[in-house]
Structure 1
Amino acid sequence: MIKSMTGYGLAGFEDDNFIVSVEVKTLNSKFLDLSIRSPRQFSEKEFDIRNLVSGVLERGKVNISIDFANKKGAELPVSINEDLFHSFYQKYQSLALHVGADSPDLFKLALQSPSVISNVVEKTSGVEEWEAVKNVLIEALEHCNAFREDEGEVLGRKFKENLGVIRQGLDRIIIEDPIRKSRIRDRIKNNFKEWLEENSFDANRFEQELIYYFEKVDITEEIVRLGTHLDYFEKNLEDEFNQGKKLGFISQEIGREINTIGSKANDASIQKHVIVMKDELEKIKEQALNIL
């Protein structure tokens, strides 16, 4: 069964300690193109997240959004050196008393002193926090994968509809091909009948040239190969393994046979069917790009 690369998954979790929400969105891509938006404390878990994603979704353009809140109370986003703050405050207070100055802004002055407040703390996640996030992430990935499978079923039905139209065109070409050959034969006979009667000509050589010409315009092999390619394409729709690239290659072969039939037949009635078949094939090629 084929699987689409377009998917969406959402999962959440809440208990007395944490609130976790994970959203997964995927589009088509030749490789695994992963983009992660998560709190700083889970930045060191990118490798683990990538392994989890590749194990479920395999490839595609994947956007993951992780929201996490700790109900126990968040730590300050900055680091305050309390000992240094006290030292500055006491020193400023001593100087103010020494000169007899008012000291209403000593707290603010000490807090703004060098190295009292450091940069944002790069907090790392604990085991319990990561386990909560990981479980929700796995659930969201599974929802996304199920979405992809559902989309794949829809695409599979659409592919079979497109193949059905191409088969109808092929069936019509099979019926009209003998008529085309008869028409060519009659045209040649009528055009050259009088000329052959009036001129000395090697009839055997002429017959050989006609056989060579009919081989050039014969489309029997292309018809057989096209039918084989259509059967092979449909067979691969039921395969359990990733079929996106293979279906793309088969589509190219189908297109090659359709184009050859159109050029070799050189017939208006057959060309009408070829145009319809090519239109359906373009739809297949476009959708095949979205198959995993």
Structure 2
Amino acid sequence: MKKDSFPFGPGVTSMTGFGRSEKTFPGLSISVEIRTVNNRHCDIGMKLPRDLGPIEGEIRERIRARLVRGRISVLIIVSRDAANEETLKLDNEAAQVCYQKLVELNRTINAPGDVTLGQLLHFSDLFAKQTQRELTDELRRQALETLDAALDDIIEMRRREGVSLAEDLLARIENITASRIEIEKLAVEQPKMQMQKLQERLQQLTDVEALDPGRLEQEAAMMADRLDVTEECVRLDSHCDAFLKTLKGSDPVGKRLGFLLQELNREANTIGSKSAVAEISHLVVNLKEEIEKVREQVQNLV
């Protein structure tokens, strides 16, 4: 089937990708960056501001549900406008102490008048700048909205990468199928060729007339059974069909394809062990090389 007409399913997704989103809200902006590389499991590393700490678990679950597999690095930055970033907080205890000291000073030096608020305001240490760092329902909604947009971005990229990888897999599966067909053709003649070689060797060692035809027929039947690769070729074909069917599915394909490759490699090894013809041996080598190339590519898929 041609690559451009193959109906790749949504499960064909690469584990490598990058996604970013930045959104501006009243008084603040939020940016989210997500990077993913290959990993057998879902390994999430996050850097986020302290005020989003209470929803870290929710963020992780949302990422895990949508990206499924890979080593995932997430960076979330919340930037607030200066007017909304800091507030002044009065140190009440320090203000009381300062007031008492001013009253005592007035008494000591017999200063006219009472202590005023204006006098207290000269003590700048009574006020401390306080940064707003509270998780509100609105901030939670804004953070998750920005996260979802970044996830949409990386999923789109991973999908494109996945389809590109899968197109190469199609070509490899076609090569495997072509080798299997050639092996089947040669395997039909393999017992005859081996029997002919056996007869030639026996003729060199024994008087031709002394050879037992019945024994030769029995040996030929046993040889044909030992060298028969029909079942292995049928299973190879079945695994290739299952491989293509998996590429059309909606579920993540990586682990399923990895299992099928193990089965393909098992059949190739069995065919190789039964090979008594150089041409078949060469085809088996080609077969295993293609399977290995497919395996390397499949490791990149979710």
- What TM-score do the two structures reach when normalised by structure 2? 0.80
- Structure 1 residue 269: Cα displacement: 1.7
Deviations 1:87-115 (A, max 9, x none): 45457778999999xxxxx969x78xxxx
Question: How far apart, in 2, do the equivalents of 1:75 and 1:179 lie?
Answer: 86
| Other-structure match for 2:47 | 37
| Other-structure match for 1:124 | 134
| Other-structure match for 1:285 | 295
Residues 35-74 of structure 1 mapped to structure 2, 5 A cutoff: 35-71=45-81, 72-74=83-85
Secondary structure at the counterpart of residue 84 of structure 2 = coil
Deviations 1:267-287 (A, max 9, x none): 322222222221111111122
With 247-256 and 27-36 compared, the bigger mean Cα shift is at 27-36
| Other-structure match for 2:28 | 18
1:44 and 1:124 in contact (8 A); partners too: no
Question: How far apart, in 1, do the equivalents of 2:206 and 2:173 lie?
Answer: 47
Question: How far apart, in 1, do the equivalents of 2:209 and 2:107 lie?
Answer: 135
Residue 243 (structure 2) aligned to one of 224, 233, 237: 233
| Other-structure match for 1:245 | 255
| Other-structure match for 1:214 | 224
Long gaps (5+) in structure 2: 1-8, 110-121
Structure 2 letter corresponding to 1:85: A
1:218 and 1:265 in contact (8 A); partners too: no
Structure 1 segments, 4+ long, off by >4 Å, are 87-100, 198-203
2:43 and 2:72 in contact (8 A); partners too: yes
Secondary structure at the counterpart of residue 85 of structure 2 = coil
Question: How far apart, in 2, do the equivalents of 1:266 and 1:194 lie?
Answer: 21
Residue 92 (structure 2) aligned to one of 69, 72, 83: 83
| Other-structure match for 2:193 | 183
Question: How far apart, in 2, do the equivalents of 1:107 and 1:54 lie?
Answer: 52
Question: How far apart, in 1, do the equivalents of 2:199 and 2:132 lie?
Answer: 90
Structure 1 residues 92 and 201: CA distance shift in structure 2, 3 A: farther
- Structure 1 residue 16: Cα displacement: 3.8
Question: How far apart, in 2, do the equivalents of 1:206 and 1:180 lie?
Answer: 16
- Structure 1 residue 82: Cα displacement: 0.7
Secondary structure at the counterpart of residue 73 of structure 1 = helix
Structure 1 residues 196 and 93: CA distance shift in structure 2, 3 A: farther
Secondary structure at the counterpart of residue 242 of structure 1 = coil
Structural RMSD (CA): 3.1
Structure 2 letter corresponding to 1:275: V
1:255 and 1:278 in contact (8 A); partners too: yes
Question: How far apart, in 2, do the equivalents of 1:198 and 1:154 lie?
Answer: 62
Secondary structure at the counterpart of residue 63 of structure 1 = strand
| Other-structure match for 1:265 | 275
Question: How far apart, in 1, do the equivalents of 2:284 and 2:166 lie?
Answer: 23
- Structure 1 residue 85: Cα displacement: 2.4
Deviations 1:60-80 (A, max 9, x none): 22211111112242136xx96
Residue 134 (structure 1) aligned to one of 119, 141, 144: 144
1:40 and 1:122 in contact (8 A); partners too: no
Long gaps (5+) in structure 1: 101-105
